[in-house]
Each structure stands twice: as C-alpha cells, then as structure tokens.
Chain A
Amino acid sequence: GKRKTVTPGVGEHPLQYNYTFWYSRRTPSRPANTQSYEQNIKQIGTVASVEQFWKFYSHLVRPGDLTGHSDFHLFKEGIKPMWEDEANKNGGKWIIRLRKGLASRFWENIILAMLGEQFMVGEEICGVVVSIRFQEDILSIWNKTANDQVTTSRIRDTLRRVLNLPPNTIMEYKTHNDSLKDNSSFRNTKISL
C-alpha cells in the first residue's frame, strides 16, 4: 500500500538513508516457505533522522526480551528483508552467533554503526537482523554483492571493531543464493576466523 514519505523534522539530524523496521515471528506449525515468510513479516515503522530513530527504537521491546522464534530487521527504506528482493538477490550476509543475554547490546551497536555510516562500503549495506532463537541469538548484516571480497572483508573488519568482538569470534558468511538453495538462513556457512 501507499505510505507517506518520512522526512527529518525541523532541527533534527538527517540520516544518510531512511530505514524501515520490520518484525517477524514464526508460527511453529507452519512451514518456513517463502510465502509464509512474507506473510509473517510486518513493516513497523520508518525513520529519517537520528531523533526519529531514538523515538521509535525506545518504544520497541528489546530483542533480548523477546521469546520464541522472532526477528527484528532494520533495512534501508525500499529494500525488503527477503533474499529475493532486487537489492539482495546477488548479496549475502555476515552471521555472528551470540550466547543468550547479549542480543540487545549487540543489536544496538550494529544499528548505530549502520545508521552512522561506519562501514564505508558505499551503497553496499542493505540492513541488519537480530534473530532470537531457542539456544542462541544471531546477528546478521546483509550486503548487496556477495562476491565482492573487498566489501565483505571491510564489513567483517568493521563489525569486529564496532561490536568489539573478541579476536577468536567465529564469523560466517552466507550468500542469499545458498540460503535459497538449502532454504535455510544459518546452516552450511563459510567460516572465517
């Protein structure tokens, strides 16, 4: 449907891009096919300035307080958090697995890095996701071009810095094409230390 254009308010600090928050939650009874994924994902708001971001974000449940199988996504406005989206179809994502209890802090830090344009990879960043699961939580950052190694390495190195990850943290990269093939977001990844 049509949504009104979101712009920075008077005196607010504009962001380089507008970003849209999405929320999804899997109903355990339903298969995780593309159609049910699209039906389960809901757009919850778009922000255009630093101030609008904080207003929106401070009303959201912290991801660490979510239960069950759910995800928050923050993507550039106009990019759906789906593998098939035009901006994502040649892309992939870095995956960081977090033990329980860390998701809220890491989610905030990765968002601030993205909103503040800390990655320095041109137009490559599409968005970030925090995935709440039963045993662990998972942080992902999606970029447009999976086979651009200069970009993916720079994203990885920036993540280590902005999240202050210990040097032995395992980071995994998975192309969306591979996710489509095995119908899984987090299995069969390429490990990078």
Chain B
Amino acid sequence: GTRIIYDRKFLLDRRNSPLTQ
C-alpha cells in the first residue's frame, strides 16, 4: 500500500493546529 510520509515542516505546523490545543 501507500506509505504516509510527512516532512518536518508539515509535522511542525500541526504542533499548534486547533486539534492539538
């Protein structure tokens, strides 16, 4: 199957997303 790849910037941007508040 396909692999779920995230780059560093994408992961860092999720750090402060509303879902993690």
Contacts and interface: CB of A to CB of B under 8 A. Distances in A.
Interface of A: 9, 11-16, 50-51, 54-55, 58, 109, 112-113, 115-118, 162
Contacts of B14: 13, 50-51, 54
Given A54-B15, A162-B8, 14 more contacts: A9-B19, A11-B19, A12-B19, A13-B14, A51-B17, A51-B19, A51-B20, A54-B14, A55-B20, A109-B8, A116-B6, A116-B8, A117-B3, A118-B7
18 contacts: A13-B14, A15-B4, A16-B4, A16-B5, A50-B11, A51-B14, A54-B14, A54-B15, A55-B20, A58-B20, A112-B8, A113-B8, A116-B6, A116-B10, A116-B11, A117-B4, A118-B5, A118-B7
Contacts of A113: 8
Given A12-B19, A55-B20, A112 B11 contact: yes
The A interface is mostly helix, strand or loop, or mixed, namely: mixed
B3 to A, nearest CB: 5
B20 A13 contact: no
B4 to A, nearest CB: 4
Contacts of B17: 51
Nearest to A15: B4
Nearest to A57: B15
A14 B4 contact: yes
A111 B3 CA distance: 17
B3 A112 contact: no
Closest 7 CB pairs of A and B: A116-B6, A16-B4, A51-B19, A50-B14, A117-B5, A54-B20, A54-B15
